[in-house]
Structure 1
């Protein structure tokens, strides 16, 4: 929908407002944003959306601080741990409603898999792109009655390095992004995907948009509302189209990934509530705060309204 301006004109009739997103990655779970850009949904809202993926990932905070970015896209654990310590950030929209990771094992699974099977084993987890991988997996173990201390972890290495080491014999399980897990299993018959978090990991605000609280003005809120309106259209478009019908577009967005993997996984994400609404899930937020607190990134779970402004997302629900 197009949010009309006070004078009655629509945003697309006016000069485009630059809205730069500094993202922590280029990922399949960000698909509705890419669709909104490619299909002109942001432009219809009067926004020129651009994206950067700085390396290392935490430079997204620098791009917020120097005004390069209107929003950072990443995990809500960052605004959580920074609050009352370094700087306050406010989250105004959610993109991914599920964790886009998977657990793989280096042998065929014959008798089925239970999460309790990882007790007494070694799990590899990359840590180069933040704390969320380890936080989520250990939270999931606790939720399923498995003591995280009963598992050994290797989580201080780069993902590509761990992938090679895992295939060479290191560890028992590997917790990795779902796309890479599918590619590895497709290419290596000795590897099986035993659990995909999009299906079995339940709701969680995995990827959100946020900016420095002190920089928020009425004009900023206006652009955030328009951004949410376009993002909502992007989500609706993806949900209304079987991935097979836009496989060529998926191949253009992710040229390094086998298109069959993209199609299959996109349809799983569509089926299993990866994309729901720009509104940050309150239930998912409360759940994730427990995981963040158990990981000692915050002293105690934060209240939803402390770091989430639901106004921009709620505006497009009317």
Structure 2
């Protein structure tokens, strides 16, 4: 009896030791608050890093929150409600132009093309951009990258967005899809998976990709205040390493395999739809596998902003971009 009692006590002690060790490891992880501008399949590699435990492997406890809008995302970052933000690079230029002693620095690129698609209410077999003339176009929020890229592409095809069509830009980002579904607009600019869901339901039909039309641009990047990067360089490096691992996994995996992993982040979408969307983004090279924000991309970004009349001032590449950490990780 005493022998079994000793064995039982030993097993309890081992269990408690293992539990304490696990708790200790969790407590040792560095907490990182990450704010994403919206929930989008466009950010698939980020969800892969979370779902596959790549952040945890680096000793990080990443808390993801969706802030729904570039202005709200930057407010969270500047007020220290978030350590790192995933948002359009143009927001760092807006903040810099307002004057700051602690600028927001772009340190890793997640996507390198626009992620929106042109959706027509009617099915079009042979779409031509001229068909938009005289139509009602439900665009994105003024001053954001989707809107600026949208106008850039329209002008590229000889369409004046403010003269040749009725441009609607006063609807909140979160309500654009619902407005189109309710009957507003002949065409709409949408992110995935909404565009594919609409096509599946017969609500609308994808006729063109703004990403393919606009070329490479640092569309969404990870950024942090200069002071945070300086004081937490090792943490940022671990963060980038986890993301880079996720990017590589996405690059070599099928759309279906990727979709199965990220599906919990998109409970309203089925795996089949997600797989279609992910393959579409992969085929047009949207995911920035190398994660390096290039000088050429930075110039393209500012050209698009200037074309849209939204560039407050030209900002040198080296002022708001830091590629040292990404390059270090990729060269390991």
Gaps of 5+ in 1: 1-11
| Structure-2 separation of matches of 1:249 and 1:152 | 40
Counterpart among 300, 304, 307 of residue 294 in structure 1: 307
Give 1:37's aligned residue.
Answer: 50
Deviation at 1:162, TM superposition (A): 4.2
Q: Could you tell me the TM-score, scaled by structure 1's length? A: 0.86
Deviation at 1:80, TM superposition (A): 0.9
Distance verdict in 2 for CA 1:40–1:162, change over 3 Å: closer
Counterpart among 132, 153, 156 of residue 145 in structure 2: 132
| Structure-2 separation of matches of 1:65 and 1:127 | 22
| Structure-2 separation of matches of 1:71 and 1:160 | 22
Deviation at 1:53, TM superposition (A): 1.3
Deviation at 1:56, TM superposition (A): 5.8
1:125–1:155: 8 Å Cα contact kept in structure 2? yes
Give 2:196's aligned residue.
Answer: 182
Q: Residue 51 in 1 paired to residue 67 in 2?
A: no
1:81–1:297: 8 Å Cα contact kept in structure 2? no
What are the superposed Cα offsets for residues 215-257 of structure 1, whole Å, 9 maximum, x if unpaired? 442x422222221111111001011110223443232221111
Counterpart among 229, 234, 243 of residue 222 in structure 1: 234
Distance verdict in 2 for CA 1:35–1:305, change over 3 Å: same
Counterpart among 92, 95, 106 of residue 110 in structure 2: 95
Give 1:27's aligned residue.
Answer: 40
2:87–2:220: 8 Å Cα contact kept in structure 1? yes
Superposition pairs for residues 109-120 of structure 1, below 5 Å?
109-110=124-125, 112-120=126-134
What are the superposed Cα offsets for residues 52-74 of structure 1, whole Å, 9 maximum, x if unpaired? 11356533233323333221111
Question: How many residue pairs get matched?
Answer: 303
Aligned residue for 1:316, secondary structure, equals: helix
Give 1:122's aligned residue.
Answer: 136
Give 2:19's aligned residue.
Answer: none
Give 1:239's aligned residue.
Answer: 251
Give 1:5's aligned residue.
Answer: none
Give 1:62's aligned residue.
Answer: 75
2:30–2:61: 8 Å Cα contact kept in structure 1? yes
| Structure-2 separation of matches of 1:113 and 1:152 | 19
- Alignment RMSD, CA only? 2.5
Gaps of 5+ in 2: 1-24
1:63–1:69: 8 Å Cα contact kept in structure 2? yes
Deviation at 1:13, TM superposition (A): 12
Deviation at 1:23, TM superposition (A): 1.3
2:114–2:146: 8 Å Cα contact kept in structure 1? no
| Structure-1 separation of matches of 2:84 and 2:181 | 38
Counterpart among 260, 269, 281 of residue 269 in structure 1: 281
2:149–2:210: 8 Å Cα contact kept in structure 1? no
Identify, as 1 or 2, the structure richer in helix: 2
What are the superposed Cα offsets for residues 252-310 of structure 1, whole Å, 9 maximum, x if unpaired? 22111132210011112122211122211332221111111233332444322121111
Superposition pairs for residues 162-181 of structure 1, below 5 Å?
162-181=176-195
Aligned residue for 1:260, secondary structure, equals: helix
